[in-house]
Structure 1
Amino acid sequence: MSIGFNSNLNMGQEQKKAIKYLCEEYLKYNNIDSSLYDKFNVKRGLRNNDGTGVVAGLTHICNVHGYLISEGERVPIDGELIYRGINIKELVEGCKKENRFGYEEVVWLLLFGSLPTAAQLKGFQDTLCLFREMPSGFVDDIIIKAPSPNIMNKLARSVLALYSYDDRADDTSLENTMRQCIELIARLPSIMVSSYQVKKRAYDNESMVLHPCLPEHSTAENILSTIRADRSFTDEEAKLLDLMLMLHAEHGGGNNSSFTCRVLTSSGTDSYSAISSAICSLKGPKHGGANNKVMQMLEYIKADVKHWNNEIEVTDYLRKILQKEAGDGSGLIYGIGHAIYSKSDPRAVILKQNAFQLAKGTEYEAEFNLLETIERLAPEVFYQHKGDSKMVCANVDFYSGLVYKMLGIPPELYTPLFAVARIGGWCAHRIEELTTCNRIMRPAYKAIAQERSYIPLSER
């Protein structure tokens, strides 16, 4: 067959025909029998048969705990998220009791391994403020002149572009890497907001407003202040966003984006390449992009289920989603299930409590109740559909989208906000990988292609 890349033809139709042909050729020769994974004991997804992760390294940074192994069996427990030995619930409660912002404290804890003193915390907040300013011409040349409809892609591209503004970009010494990480943690919120404002002008035909950051503001306050045209926000709103940042800041070295960062770091590459790769990983709908997918799924359910409080109608629709007859056709109930948590996700538990307080008595209460109904019914629907008794629970993405919506944050910023929070964890993992491992990651893949002889072109 002639593939037909002819510039004189209708390129749209010819390209479609060419790609269809190439896909057919690929599928002819590239099937892998699923039984071979068991035969060769392949850990698909770097997971053991019981769902636990393959141990790939050691870390001080974070522990994610969702089950116990008792007499060889996995026993679900209430999930725990532990930053440097301290339970996230204690961190959240500590900041709440003292009525203060906690994200900067969490970043310090993740990076350095100890809780900061009052003087250290104030100094760290001041340091982040010092490093927020972008390189000269960066916003004009990298963000304004090259808008993107997708903010996650723009974050990754912008972080990668910072390489060109760094005279010591490839220096992987601790001092230089620390400087790069602090700059990235300080700058990513501004990159996100600027990218969003430019996107509004270029793609939505709306006004673009670029506010400067204010030195007296926390990370959460600056995000709300620069997103909103009038810069106004309440302390309650800022504290809730700060809570979101705290909960999303870290989730262990095995989560996909942190592991991606560690893999690239192990090769000896620069900080900008490693962090941009983590952003690209987080964009995926099976990872950070799930929070947006939950809200999209909620809109499908709101539109197609006549009575939101009718459990039979909701159950029927969830069953249709799993059968790929409703929703986005993926067969996924977004926000339900997690690789480690089975009985509960501590982040989701905390978010649910705060989401209820914010939604109670507002127009969002009905949506919250619908999400709660989905959370309650989904495990049984999964069991009926798959015949799998594995316990599943709502994960952090299930309620985070609704919280962002109630804060007036646009959907295109849900996953970027996840990245803004998680960069603290990524940087901690990059520094730990550089200073403690010093060996390139190189897992094995079993080759199953049969040996054969080369056939001359004229004889094929």
Structure 2
Amino acid sequence: MDSNSYLYKVLENNKIDPELYTKYNVKRGLRNADGTGVLVGLTRVGDVHGYIMDEGERIPVDGKLYYRGYDVEDLVYHAAQEQRYGFEETIYLLLFGDLPTKAELEEFSDLLGEKRALPNNFAEDTIMKVPSPDIMNKLARSVLTCYAYDDRAEDLSPENILRQSIDLIARFPTMVAYAYMAKKHYYDHESLFIHSPGKTKSTAETLLSLIRQDQKFTRLEAEILDLALVLHAEHGGGNNSTFAVHLISSADTDTYSAIAAGVGSLKGFKHGGANIKVMGMMEDIKKGVKNWENEGEVADYLIKILKGEAFDRTGLIYGQGHAVYTISDPRATLLRNKAEALAKEKGFYEEFNLYRTIETLVPKVFKQVKGSDKSICTNVDFYSGFVYHMLGIPTELYTPIFAISRVAGWCAHRMEEIISGGRIIRPAYKCVQPRLPFIPIADRK
């Protein structure tokens, strides 16, 4: 039998009639028919608010994101007012549930700085000797390898999980940076530069210093990367990667296996890799639209994309729309405002205005093509890739930066699942394969 015959068998024997999903009221994607998520758990870590339900009708409202009950906009505002970085405070809040005092924040930041360095020989044996062309793949393998360096890897006590969580959160920037440098050297054939992580820098400053040959960066660059880290740190228990961590943790497995599962989920283009799709689309738009200031020309090209006649022919305008947010994504709003300042500093203001034009036009274009009044807002992926591009960060690091941030939320949710979950997550699947009589091997055709 040739490979095509085997493939045919695989394709045919894994098809399920779409009508059966309706017949058995299957919650595909764990979503209800109205698009809301199926309630499968409770959490105190984070809340995503984008609509209200009124007598069974979904009513759009301005988007809000809460970390441990605190509005993320307040976290961002006060960090900026006090001229300090906000991600370390965000990590503390997510892990411990309270806002730190000044002394607690300083002590916690120092602890993270002390733990940035990888275990002895880890970089040489785990990263440099077995590099990967994909940084997320290398990150997942690095997380799993941490198990071998931990004498208490299987200890599921909250005290030990907290220790492991802080270790991983601190090490993620270093593991990502070293994986990137190894990839550049062994796959791109460039010179190898490995910097030791400083103990006194913020997470944003640490990452920028580790991935740049000269280790230099401006305050504004570090501030906007810090903002991106704050905004990506947590997004409720139902997003794919966080739910994956809940799922794996409910089986009472070790921390490294659970967090590696989160990395694997985030790697997908439908989740953490979405901003890469946005950047590809924007490059296509910049080539296809001659006058970026002509709204009519931009709108015409967006219509082509929506009709599947341009870019990747999927009919999707990436970075637009969200499963929960309806009128606005607060993360996108905060990042856009900071991106404008960076665009002026870096000479990208004309391109920034193109992003703003697209953001304004998409709802109108969507209504024109689809004939729908559905609320569509720009999501955080639309601007995050642009911000990283202005920072000179290569595309292959976009999703790993997301992981550097989101690991804080994953660890908080893992702790919650271990302490309050109590039951292995085991949803039902209905088998729709007909019963078949067994055929002796001599009679098979």
Partner of 1:444: 428
Partner of 1:115: 99
3-state SS of the aligned residue for 1:360?
helix
Any conservation in 1 of the 2:220–2:342 contact (CA below 8 Å)? no
3-state SS of the aligned residue for 1:447?
coil
Equivalences for residues 178-327 of structure 1 within 5 A: 178-327=162-311
* Number of aligned residues: 444
Q: Scaled by the length of structure 2, what TM-score is found?
A: 0.97
The one-character-per-residue Cα deviations of 1:253-306 (angstroms, maximum 9, x if unpaired) are 001100001100001111111101101111111111011111111111111222
Deviation at 1:362, TM superposition (A): 4.8
Amino acid at match of 1:37: Y
Partner of 1:89: 73
3-state SS of the aligned residue for 1:231?
coil
Amino acid at match of 2:337: Q
The one-character-per-residue Cα deviations of 1:69-112 (angstroms, maximum 9, x if unpaired) are 11210010010000011000000001010000110110010011
Partners in 1 of 2:346 and 2:140 — Cα distance? 36
Partner of 1:395: 379
Give the 3 Å change call, closer, same or farther, for CA 71–238 of structure 1 in structure 2: same
Equivalences for residues 379-390 of structure 1 within 5 A: 379-390=363-374
Partners in 2 of 1:276 and 1:331 — Cα distance? 32
Partner of 2:389: 405
Deviation at 1:382, TM superposition (A): 2.8
Partners in 1 of 2:265 and 2:155 — Cα distance? 24
Matched, 1:22 2:22: no
3-state SS of the aligned residue for 2:59?
strand
Matched, 1:453 2:437: yes
Deviation at 1:307, TM superposition (A): 2.0
The one-character-per-residue Cα deviations of 1:363-406 (angstroms, maximum 9, x if unpaired) are 31122111122222222333344444321111111001111111
Any conservation in 1 of the 2:224–2:339 contact (CA below 8 Å)? no
Equivalences for residues 164-183 of structure 1 within 5 A: 164-183=148-167
Any conservation in 1 of the 2:343–2:352 contact (CA below 8 Å)? yes
Equivalences for residues 144-155 of structure 1 within 5 A: 144-155=128-139
The one-character-per-residue Cα deviations of 1:301-321 (angstroms, maximum 9, x if unpaired) are 111222222233322322332
Partners in 1 of 2:165 and 2:346 — Cα distance? 40
Give the 3 Å change call, closer, same or farther, for CA 362–141 of structure 1 in structure 2: closer
Partner of 1:100: 84
Amino acid at match of 2:401: L
The one-character-per-residue Cα deviations of 1:319-356 (angstroms, maximum 9, x if unpaired) are 33233332123332111111100110000010111111
3-state SS of the aligned residue for 1:32?
coil
Partners in 2 of 1:291 and 1:338 — Cα distance? 13
Partner of 1:15: none
Match 1:69 to one of 47, 53, 67? 53
Amino acid at match of 2:360: R
Match 2:358 to one of 366, 374, 382? 374
3-state SS of the aligned residue for 1:36?
helix
Unaligned runs of 5+ in 1: 4-17
Partner of 1:41: 25
3-state SS of the aligned residue for 1:268?
coil
Partners in 1 of 2:7 and 2:293 — Cα distance? 45
Give the 3 Å change call, closer, same or farther, for CA 446–234 of structure 1 in structure 2: same
3-state SS of the aligned residue for 1:182?
helix
Deviation at 1:361, TM superposition (A): 6.7
Match 1:78 to one of 62, 76, 80? 62
| Structure 1 stretch displaced more, 431-440 or 22-31 | 22-31
The one-character-per-residue Cα deviations of 1:428-452 (angstroms, maximum 9, x if unpaired) are 0000000011210000011111222
Amino acid at match of 2:303: R
Amino acid at match of 2:218: T
The one-character-per-residue Cα deviations of 1:161-207 (angstroms, maximum 9, x if unpaired) are 11111111111111111111110000000001111111111122222
What is the percentage of aligned positions where both structures have the same residue?
56
Amino acid at match of 1:246: V
Partners in 2 of 1:436 and 1:118 — Cα distance? 30
3-state SS of the aligned residue for 1:214?
coil
Matched, 1:347 2:331: yes
Partner of 2:410: 426
3-state SS of the aligned residue for 1:204?
coil
Matched, 1:127 2:127: no
Deviation at 1:27, TM superposition (A): 2.9
3-state SS of the aligned residue for 1:82?
strand
Partners in 2 of 1:255 and 1:91 — Cα distance? 22
Deviation at 1:60, TM superposition (A): 0.7
Amino acid at match of 2:410: W
Unaligned runs of 5+ in 2: none
| Structure 1 stretch displaced more, 125-134 or 361-370 | 361-370
Partner of 1:163: 147
3-state SS of the aligned residue for 2:187?
helix
Partners in 2 of 1:173 and 1:338 — Cα distance? 36
3-state SS of the aligned residue for 1:449?
coil
Any conservation in 1 of the 2:116–2:199 contact (CA below 8 Å)? no
Partner of 1:58: 42
| Structure 1 stretch displaced more, 253-262 or 305-314 | 305-314
Partners in 2 of 1:402 and 1:422 — Cα distance? 19
The one-character-per-residue Cα deviations of 1:30-76 (angstroms, maximum 9, x if unpaired) are 33222221221111100111111111111110010000111210010
Amino acid at match of 1:120: E
Match 1:415 to one of 396, 399, 402? 399
Partners in 1 of 2:45 and 2:260 — Cα distance? 20
Partners in 2 of 1:218 and 1:456 — Cα distance? 67
Give the 3 Å change call, closer, same or farther, for CA 23–71 of structure 1 in structure 2: same
